[in-house]
A and B are shown apart, each in its own frame.
Chain A
Amino acid sequence: MRLSLAGALALGVIMSVGTAANAEAPGDPKAVKSVDGKYFDAKGDPTYNVKPDGTVDFYTFSGYRRYHSECHVCHGPNAEGSTYAPALKDSVKRFDYAEFSGIVIGGRENKQAGNDSVMPAFADNKNAMCYLDDIYVYLRARSTEAVGRGRPEKKEDKPAAFSDAETKCMSAK
């Protein structure tokens, strides 16, 4: 766990050097495959899946919870932004999974005409790091309104793979 975090951190530093103009746009969020209850788009990035009856995949549900415990105090409820931090449901339309990860892990500073803002680095916070994909897929689901505001009413069961990864990541030293 420690190794992969460090690897991701290095990636974050590199990515955050790039300007917003160079950001690579994410692909179509449509899920094309599923591995152990986790969904991926055509580029292989994690994404959400909402069934016709409104049942969301567990990762998206988990992302809803983690977003509202880690992110929403600055970025506002339902990823809709606040007076001092952007609406992430819109931000994830402009940058891709790698850049998202880099910003959350490494943090960043925006200086714009006296309107400075600071995104802290979450690399030491397991509540964000162990659920980075979950938060990302929740934001993608919000970006297309595939998931509305508030708590998703129906969700898939917690996949065994989710529990295994959670236990491993949260108990890592």
Chain B
Amino acid sequence: MTIWARNLDTGAVKWVYQLTPHDEWDYDAINEVILADQEIGGVKRKTAVHFDRNGFAYTLDRTNGELLVAEKYDPAVNWATKVDMDKSSKTYGRPLVVDKYSTEKNGEDTNTQGVCPAALGSKDEQPASFNPETGLFYVPTNHVCMDYEPFRVSYTAGQPYVGATLEMFPAGRVLGDKTDNTGNFIAWDARTGKIVWSDKEQFSVWSGTVTTAGGLAFYGTLEGYLKAVDLKTGKELYKFKTPSGIIGNVITYEHAGKQYVAVLSGVGGWAGIGLAAGLTKGNEGLGAVGNYASLSNYTALGGVLTVFALPN
């Protein structure tokens, strides 16, 4: 739940920032931290940008750990109202937790319902990317909420240590907006903390993304599409159906003077566990199966590298 800045040569801690103090929802901050130099409030800052599992995107000054921006990058996020940005406040830098969604306040044996995001986070380990020309971040996201019921548990070395059951479902069920998509591919302005555009995806976007100088962002979908969209508008310009769901990272490279784009397909991971492990019931796979139950209608298991060459 914490970002650590350490001296490369000595390992000494320079600063720390705790994203979800006393985590009650499994929002451990395992995601990447992207370094980008950006102008914020007229000042050029060396920033570190992090899209946390907890649904907030953080922009920090990486030289000293100062918190510059912390905003929700999925409007569904409800476990906290905001991150306190008031430097004179006692709770400065902390998320302001909503009691109704506090699994600790509700306590053992109580099923806390409709918490957004789900334990898999508004984004999990699939990396976002930064495009220096637009100044925006291109972020693969999950649009998923959960019910979370803790129960008493005790630690024994070498044995399972699980203290909650959970079930996940599309965020639309909590928002009441009749949507059932579980993902969005978004462009994010980390200087202001705002979504610039958002493309709905039926399933969580579980691939890494890449952008090019040609003005394109690439990502993959759980149904198996590799997509190219316009960096400025998000308009879909190209898609290709690979043999299996994409949870790999799209890459681009040059060889013998020609540019290529490549991606590994092969569904799996938390979102794809139902399909990969043959599970079918909602609570299985730590609650992921129900949410992605229809995935098997769209893709199959696989493991293929698909490479695209740019035309001459």
User: Interface on A for B, CB 8 Å cutoff?
Assistant: 62, 65, 68-70, 73, 77-78, 120, 122, 124-128, 130, 149-151, 158, 166, 170
Contact = CB atoms under 8 A, between A and B. Distances in A.
Interface of A (DSSP majority class): helix
B284 to A, nearest CB: 4
Nearest to B166: A151
A70 B149 CA distance: 16
Interface stretch (B123-131, B157-165, B216-224, B228-236): B157-165
A170 B156 contact: no
Q: Which of A62, A127, A149 has the most CB of B within 10 A?
A: A127
A164 to B, nearest CB: 13
Nearest to B284: A77
Contacts of B284: 77-78, 150
A94 B87 CA distance: 65
Given A122-B159, A128-B159, A151-B167, 13 more contacts: A65-B149, A69-B153, A69-B162, A70-B159, A77-B283, A77-B284, A78-B281, A124-B156, A125-B159, A127-B154, A127-B159, A127-B160, A170-B152
Contact of B159 (A124, A158, A166, A170): A124
Given A68-B283, A158-B109, A127 B156 contact: yes
Contact of A69 (B163, B281, B282, B285): B163
Contacts of A127: 153-154, 156, 159-161
B110 to A, nearest CB: 10
The 4 closest A-B CB pairs, nearest first, are: A69-B162, A150-B281, A126-B154, A77-B284
A65 B282 contact: no
